[in-house]
Amino acid sequence: MSEFLDTYRTYLPEWWGRLCAAVGVTIELSTLGFALAILLGTALVLMIRSRWRFARLAANAFVQFLRAVPLLALLLALYFGLPSFGVTLSSFWAGATGLGLQGSAYVAEVLRGGLGAIHRGQREAGLAAGLPPHKVFLWIVLPQALRIMLPPLLNCYVSLLKDSSLCALIATDELMLTARAMSSEFFLPLHIFLLVGLFYFAIAFPLSMLSRLMAQRLSRGRRSVGVV
Amino acid sequence: MDNGFLSVLATLLTGAETALKVSLGAAVIAMTGGLPLALSVVFTRIALVRVVIAVYVEWMRNVPALAHLFVLYFGLAAVGIRLTPLTAAIVGLGMVGAAILCDVFVGGLRALHVGQREAALAVGLTPLQSLRFVVLPQMLRLTLPSIGNYASQLIKDTSIASAIAAPEIMFYARNLVTSTFQTPLIYATAILLYASIVLPVSWLFALAERRLEARR
Amino acid sequence: MSEALLTVDGLKKSYGATEVLKGISFDLKKGETLSLIGPSGSGKSTCLRCLNFLERPNEGEIVLEGERIGRIGNVAGHGRFMTDRELAPQRREIGMVFQLFYLWPHLTVRDNVALASMKADGMNRSDAYALAEQMLDKVHLRHKADEFPERLSGGQQQRVAIARALAQKPKLILFDEPTSALDPELVGEVLGVIRELAEEGRSMILVTHEIRFARDVADRVIFMDGGHVIEEGPAKDVICRPQMERTRTFLGQVGETSDLGI
Nearest to A183 among B64, B74, B184 (CB): B74
A70: left (phi over 0), alpha (psi -120 to 50) or beta: beta
Three-state DSSP string of C34-79: EEEECCCCCCHHHHHHHHCCCCCCCEEEEEECCEECCECCCCCCCC
Query: CB atoms < 10 A from the CB of B4, how many?
Result: 13
Q: At what angle do helices B136-157 and B183-214 cross, to 10 degrees?
A: 170
Query: C150 and A225 in contact by Cβ < 8 A?
Result: yes
Q: Which domain holds residue C158?
A: 29-54+85-260
Window 133-172 of A, Cβ < 8 Å to B: 158, 162-163, 165-166, 168-169
CATH of the domain at A135: 1.10.3720.10
The reported pLDDT for the residue numbered B131 is 78
Q: Neighbours of B (≥3 Cβ pairs closer than 8 A)?
A: A
Task: Flag whether residue C15 sits within 8 Å of chain A, measured between CB atoms.
Answer: no
The tens-digit pLDDT sequence of chain B (216 residues) is: 455 788 888 888 989 999 999 999 999 999 999 999 999 998 888 999 999 999 999 999 999 999 999 999 999 998 889 999 999 999 999 999 999 999 999 988 888 766 777 777 777 777 777 777 778 888 888 899 999 999 999 999 999 999 999 999 999 998 888 888 778 889 999 999 999 999 999 999 989 888 877 665
Residue B204 C-alpha, separation from nearest chain A C-alpha, in angstroms? 14
Return d(Cα B108, Cα B119) in angstroms, integer: 18
Query: C91 and A227 in contact by Cβ < 8 A?
Result: no
Name the pairing type of β-strands C220-225 and C33-37. Answer: parallel
State the total domains in chain C: 1
Whether C254 maps to a domain, the answer reads yes
Q: What is the CA radius of gyration of chain C?
A: 18
A48-86 pLDDT, tens digit each: 988 889 999 999 999 999 999 999 999 999 999 888 888
Q: Say yes or no to pLDDT of A226 above 50.
A: no
Q: Say yes or no to pLDDT of C46 above 90.
A: yes
The reported pLDDT for the residue numbered C133 is 96
Task: Flag whether residue A128 sits within 8 Å of chain C, measured between CB atoms.
Answer: yes
* HSE-up of residue C74 (Cα within 13 Å, Cβ side): 1
Which residues does chain A have within 8 Å of residue C186's beta carbon, measured at their own beta carbons? Answer: none
Which residues does chain C have within 8 Å of residue A126's beta carbon, measured at their own beta carbons? Answer: 104, 116
Task: Flag whether residue A146 sits within 8 Å of chain C, measured between CB atoms.
Answer: no
Query: B160 and A179 in contact by Cβ < 8 A?
Result: no
Looking at A198-207, B140-149, C131-140, which range is the least confident one?
A: B140-149
Task: Flag whether residue A196 sits within 8 Å of chain B, measured between CB atoms.
Answer: yes
Whether C3 maps to a domain, the answer reads no
CATH of the domain at C176: 3.40.50.300
Residue B180 C-alpha, separation from nearest chain A C-alpha, in angstroms? 13
Nearest chain A alpha carbon to B193: A69
Return d(Cα A150, Cα A132) in angstroms, integer: 26
Strand partners, C71: C81
Collapsing DSSP to helix, strand or coil, B125 comes out as coil
State the total domains in chain B: 1
Query: C104 and A133 in contact by Cβ < 8 A?
Result: no
C200-216 pLDDT, tens digit each: 999 999 999 889 999 99
Pair B170, B15: CB distance under 8 Å: yes
The rounded mean pLDDT for chain A is 90
The reported pLDDT for the residue numbered B67 is 96
DSSP letter string over A31-79?
HHHHHHHHHHHHHHHHHHTSS-HHHHHHHHHHHHHHHTS-HHHHHHIII
Helix (H) / strand (E) containing C27 = strand C18-29
Query: B78 and A188 in contact by Cβ < 8 A?
Result: yes
Task: Flag whether residue A130 sits within 8 Å of chain C, measured between CB atoms.
Answer: yes
The reported pLDDT for the residue numbered A224 is 37
The reported pLDDT for the residue numbered B176 is 87
Nearest to A122 among C104, C158, C164 (CB): C104
Which residues does chain C have within 8 Å of residue A127's beta carbon, measured at their own beta carbons? Answer: 54, 84, 87-88, 91
Is ipTM strictly over 0.90?
A: no
Whether C246 maps to a domain, the answer reads yes
Pair C177, C213: CB distance under 8 Å: no
Which residues does chain C have within 8 Å of residue A134's beta carbon, measured at their own beta carbons? Answer: 85
Query: A227 and C102 in contact by Cβ < 8 A?
Result: yes
A126-137 pLDDT, tens digit each: 999 999 999 999
Whether A11 maps to a domain, the answer reads no
Nearest chain B alpha carbon to A180: B70
State the total domains in chain A: 1
The reported pLDDT for the residue numbered A27 is 96
The reported pLDDT for the residue numbered B1 is 46
Which residues does chain B have within 8 Å of residue A65's beta carbon, measured at their own beta carbons? Answer: 195
Query: A227 and C105 in contact by Cβ < 8 A?
Result: yes
Task: Flag whether residue C223 sits within 8 Å of chain A, measured between CB atoms.
Answer: no
The rounded mean pLDDT for chain C is 90
Query: C115 and A121 in contact by Cβ < 8 A?
Result: no
Whether A8 maps to a domain, the answer reads no
Query: A129 and C120 in contact by Cβ < 8 A?
Result: yes
Return d(Cα B92, Cα C91) in angstroms, integer: 61
Query: B62 and A158 in contact by Cβ < 8 A?
Result: yes
Give the residue with greater pLDDT, C177 vs B127.
C177
Which runs of consecutive H residues, i.e. helices, occur in chain A?
2-48, 53-67, 71-76, 91-116, 120-128, 133-136, 142-163, 175-186, 189-220
Name the pairing type of β-strands C204-207 and C33-37. Answer: parallel
Query: A69 and B195 in contact by Cβ < 8 A?
Result: yes
Return d(Cα A61, Cα B161) in angstroms, integer: 28
Whether A211 maps to a domain, the answer reads yes
Task: Flag whether residue A68 sits within 8 Å of chain B, measured between CB atoms.
Answer: yes
C228 CB-near residues (< 8 Å, 6+ apart): C22, C23, C24
Nearest to B67 among A67, A158, A165 (CB): A165
Whether C43 maps to a domain, the answer reads yes
Nearest to A122 among C52, C102, C161 (CB): C102
Pair C194, C202: CB distance under 8 Å: no
Whether A228 maps to a domain, the answer reads no
C242-251 pLDDT, tens digit each: 889 889 888 8
Return d(Cα C36, Cα C22) in angstroms, integer: 16
Query: B62 and A179 in contact by Cβ < 8 A?
Result: no
pLDDT more than 70, % of chain C: 96
Looking at A6-20, A96-110, A183-197, C88-102, which range is the least confident one?
A: A6-20
Whether C78 maps to a domain, the answer reads no
Residue B12 C-alpha, separation from nearest chain A C-alpha, in angstroms? 13
Return d(Cα C192, Cα C174) in angstroms, integer: 16
> Across residues C168-195, what is the average pLDDT?
94
Q: Say yes or no to pLDDT of A228 above 50.
A: no
Query: A226 and C157 in contact by Cβ < 8 A?
Result: yes
Task: Flag whether residue C16 sits within 8 Å of chain A, measured between CB atoms.
Answer: no
Q: Which domain holds residue A212?
A: 22-220
Q: What is the CA radius of gyration of chain B?
A: 21
Q: Say yes or no to pLDDT of A222 above 60.
A: no
Q: In what order do the strands lie in the sheet with C228-234?
A: C94-97, C172-176, C204-207, C33-37, C220-225, C228-234
Nearest to C154 among A126, A131, A226 (CB): A226
Query: A226 and C103 in contact by Cβ < 8 A?
Result: yes
The reported pLDDT for the residue numbered B177 is 86
Q: Which of A129, A136, A130 is CA-nearest to residue A115? A: A136
CATH of the domain at B73: 1.10.3720.10
Q: Neighbours of C (≥3 Cβ pairs closer than 8 A)?
A: A
Whether A190 maps to a domain, the answer reads yes
Nearest to A144 among C89, C106, C157 (CB): C106
- What pTM was estimated for this model as a whole? 0.81
The reported pLDDT for the residue numbered C255 is 63
Whether A159 maps to a domain, the answer reads yes
Residues B106-140 as b/e (b if ≥16 CB within 10 A, e otherwise) read bebbeebeeeebeebeeeebeeeebbeebbbebbe
Interface test with A, best of B55, B68, B70 (most A CBs within 10 A): B70
Whether A15 maps to a domain, the answer reads no
Whether C61 maps to a domain, the answer reads no
pLDDT band at A1 (very low <50, low <70, confident <90, very high): confident
The reported pLDDT for the residue numbered B113 is 65
Query: B183 and A84 in contact by Cβ < 8 A?
Result: yes
> Which residue type occupies A26?
T
Which residues does chain A have within 8 Å of residue C171's beta carbon, measured at their own beta carbons? Answer: none
Query: B170 and A73 in contact by Cβ < 8 A?
Result: yes
Residue A119 C-alpha, separation from nearest chain C C-alpha, in angstroms? 9
Strand partners, C7: C27, C63
